[in-house]
Amino acid sequence: MEFVRSISEKALGILYPPRCPICDEITETGGGICPACAGKVREIGEPVCKKCGKPLENERREYCPDCAAKKHLYTQGKAVFVYGEGIPKSLYRFKYANKREYAEYYADRAAKRYGAWLKSRGAEVLVPVPMYFWKKRLRGYNQAEIFARALGRNTGIPVDTRLVKRVRNTAPQKTLNDVQRKRNLKNAFQLVPDIVEYTQIVLVDDIYTTGSTMDAVAGVLLDAGVKNIYYICISIGTGY
């Protein structure tokens, strides 16, 4: 069995040689980010906003201007990469060009950076932000779910994709302003089971912009009696 597996893995390696998740060139090192791209990603480090996890320019502040001004429903969130340089194109291919294998790299970095944080929060389950079923059928997959599964394998935290569903197809958030975003997401998510037995849930998504999606899903879960909603995103913008 081992033998068969190693043969088939080798065959797969020839058919699909590992590619750098940033530039998509074939890597000689057998996976991960290529040396040329190492300087093209910025992982997020302290100081960060204690609420949303955005990098802070002024380290004496606790919150970013956005979180200082408005109340979020989630308890706290973290992101792995600054949305800039090589990341936007990488995420675009991950989302729209079937580059699902990039999730391994994102999840590896997320687990290294936030594994201890997840443990300290008592994270019971990872819940990918759901996609409207028709959209998922057209695209073939939900990128948040692919990332959540990879993160689950890296951290040992189970993944639950049946807790919340998206019941409306919403306009892409990036085209809307803050008020429109909220209206767009009103009643977009619905709880699936009658009872939620988790108390500490971690939502998982690819990009965090204003937090309105996270708040919309968090609202549904808080109404169901969940105590804390956290999140992990692959990337977060630095603008406010």
Residue ranges that bind Zn ion, judged by CB under 5 A: 20, 22-23, 34, 37, 49, 51-52, 54, 64, 67
SS3 label, residue 228: strand
Local structure of residue 121 (DSSP, 8 states): T
Output the smallest distance, CB 223 to Zn ion, in A.
Answer: 23
Of residues 61 and 165, the one with the C-beta less far from Zn ion: 61
**Cα–Cα distance between 206 and 123 in angstroms, integer?**
19
Output the smallest distance, CB 20 to Zn ion, in A.
Answer: 3
**Cα–Cα distance between 227 and 79 in angstroms, integer?**
21
**Cα–Cα distance between 130 and 24 in angstroms, integer?**
27
CB contact at 8 A, 102 and 94: yes
Output the smallest distance, CB 234 to Zn ion, in A.
Answer: 17
Q: Categorise residue 236: left if φ over 0, alpha if ψ from -120 to 50, beta otherwise.
A: beta
Of residues 47 and 158, the one with the C-beta less far from Zn ion: 47
Output the smallest distance, CB 54 to Zn ion, in A.
Answer: 5
**Cα–Cα distance between 104 and 150 in angstroms, integer?**
6
Kindly compute the dihedral angle of the four CA atoms of residues 174, 205, 33, 141, in this order, to the nearest 10 degrees. Answer: -90
* Angle at CA of residue 75, ends 81 and 162, nearest 5°: 80
Of residues 54 and 149, the one with the C-beta less far from Zn ion: 54
**Cα–Cα distance between 150 and 108 in angstroms, integer?**
8
Output the smallest distance, CB 130 to Zn ion, in A.
Answer: 24
| CA distance to 46, 219, 234, per residue, from 87 (Å) | 19, 29, 9
Output the smallest distance, CB 23 to Zn ion, in A.
Answer: 3
Output the smallest distance, CB 27 to Zn ion, in A.
Answer: 7
Of residues 52 and 196, the one with the C-beta less far from Zn ion: 52
SS3 label, residue 219: helix
Of residues 51 and 181, the one with the C-beta less far from Zn ion: 51
Of residues 49 and 185, the one with the C-beta less far from Zn ion: 49
Of residues 51 and 99, the one with the C-beta less far from Zn ion: 51
